[in-house]
Amino acid sequence: MNRLSLFKFASLVAAAAVSLAAHAQGDFPARPVTLVVPFAPGGSVDMVARVVAEKWGQNLGQPIVIDNRAGAATIIAADYVQKAPADGYTLLIGTSTTFVVNPIIYPKIPYDSLKSFDPVGVIGSAGLALLVNANVKANTVQELIADMRAKPGTYSFGSHGNGSTVHFAAEMLWSAAKLKDVVHIPYKGSAPAITDLSGGQIPVAFDAIPAASSAAKGGRVRILAVTSEQRSPLLPNVPTIAESGYPGFKMASWFGIVGPKNMPAAVRDKLEKALQAAISDPALAKRLQDAGFDPQWSGSAKYAGLVKADTADLAPIAKANNITASN
């Protein structure tokens, strides 16, 4: 084959490859899409993922299959997805823990929140609740802070563990109130913390709104406020911390969906448009709100801004309180 013929042959092969790639992207998705959930089945993130996946899959024309890969504070799942083929068929639903907290509290993690993923969209957030044991006399945040200030060194609070979002929420409030002597009691999850709060072993705790709402029904704990910007539909009569004397206070765990870096633009665009349509569906939004989740669509272009803004808010809290994954 002479040089001219060889050149023409190579050009034809290249053109065919481009055509096949474009055709494949145009047909996307041609098979089910996997959405990796970095928590065990049954939790709040898993619930949100399954509710959203149902409508999202209908919009895409292919089912979205949930793959639970729990462990290492979402790091296992995030690392798995960043290493998957960047074809749009393997995605991750992560939270502020994945994209903001882990890079702050771990000295080294195998992924970069901004460089390892292509965002598809941010679908909303879940606020937290501030709870006290029923024997605590305070009925408002201001009364609680006043009592804590009057009894230095006697108050403790429970969290889901070092570096958890509830740990950060508490430290943010103590910082805003200029309290420095509140003892942190880390637990291995929500259930043991709520159990000790109900039993009076600890006086204060933060928890997810659905768990807090359920715990308060027993009468052994009270909810004083929520950490989100707006009041929760589940707790419409409970004020926000911002309303309770700390303007601007907000702490919520937002949920973002990402894929491996360098997904084809056409694939990413199709995923994003179908996801936005799902989150905008009134029936789906109502299901999420009833479960304590606040559905709010933010396109992929806002993902990096959220990561940077929350990192700027939480990194100083971590430094001031020596919050690391090992302490």
Class of domain 127-244: alpha beta
pLDDT, tens digit (0-9, with 9 covering 90-100), for 181-225: 999 999 988 999 999 999 999 999 999 998 999 999 989 999 999
Nearest-CA neighbor of 95 among 268, 310, 261, 242? 310
* Amino acid 325: pLDDT: 86
Say what the pLDDT of residue 5 is: 52
Which is it for strands 33-37 and 204-208: parallel, antiparallel or unpaired?
unpaired
- Using the predicted structure, report yes or no on whether residue 254 has a pLDDT greater than 70: yes
- Please tell me the distance from the alpha carbon of residue 86 to that of residue 156, in angstroms, as a whole number: 46
* Domain residue spans of the chain: 9-126+253-321, 127-244
For residue 240, name the pLDDT band (cuts at 50, 70, 90): very high
Q: In terms of pLDDT, which residue wins out, 165 or 26?
A: 165
pTM of the shown model: 0.87
**Confidence at residue 8, expressed as pLDDT on a 0 to 100 scale:** 53
139 phi, psi to nearest 5 deg = -115, -5
pLDDT at 321: 92
Q: Which 3 state secondary structure label does DSSP give 237?
A: coil
Spacing of C-alpha 69 from chain mean position: 15
Q: What is the pLDDT of residue 189?
A: 87
Are 114 and 120 contacting, i.e. CB atoms less than 8 angstroms apart?
no
The pLDDT tens digits for 88-114 are 999 999 999 999 999 999 999 999 999
pLDDT class for 10, splitting at 50, 70, 90? very low
Higher-scoring residue by pLDDT: 219, 20: 219
The residue written with tokens 């027993």 in the block is 218
pLDDT single digits (tens) 279-293 = 999 999 999 998 889
Three-state secondary structure of 93-113: EEEHHHHHHHHHHCCCCCCCC
- The answer to whether the CB of 130 falls within 8 A of the CB of 213 is no
Per-residue model confidence (pLDDT) at position 9 = 47
With 0-12 / 13-18 / 19 or more C-beta atoms within 10 angstroms meaning exposed / middle / buried, residue 199 is exposed
Q: Do domains 9-126+253-321 and 127-244 have the same CATH topology?
A: yes
Does residue 67 register a pLDDT over 80?
Answer: yes
Rounded to an integer, what distance in angstroms lies between the CA atom of residue 239 and that of residue 247?
Answer: 12
Q: Average per-residue pLDDT in the chain?
A: 91
- Nearest-CA neighbor of 186 among 320, 326, 24? 326
What pLDDT band is residue 180 in, cutting at 50, 70 and 90? confident
pLDDT at 26 over 70: no
**155-177 mean pLDDT:** 95
Partners of 191 in the β-ladder? none
Angle (CA) 37-41-45 rounded to 5° is 50
Q: What single string gives the DSSP state of each residue in 281-316?
A: -HHHHHHHHHTT-EEEEEEGGGHHHHHHHHHHHHHH
Residue 239 banded pLDDT, cuts 50, 70, 90: very high
Check whether domain 9-126+253-321 has CATH 1.10.10.10, yes or no: no
Q: Which helix (H) or strand (E) holds 270?
A: helix 265-279
For 290, the token pair is 């009833």
| Angle (nearest 5°) at CA 239 between 233 and 243 | 130
Give the pLDDT confidence of 71-82 residue by residue, as tens digits: 999 999 999 999
Tell me: the pLDDT tens digits for 38-49?
Answer: 999 988 899 999
Q: Which DSSP string do the residues of 159-219 spell out, in sequence order?
A: ESSTT-HHHHHHHHHHHHTT---PEEEE-SSHHHHHHHHHHTSSSEEEEEHHHHHHHHTTS
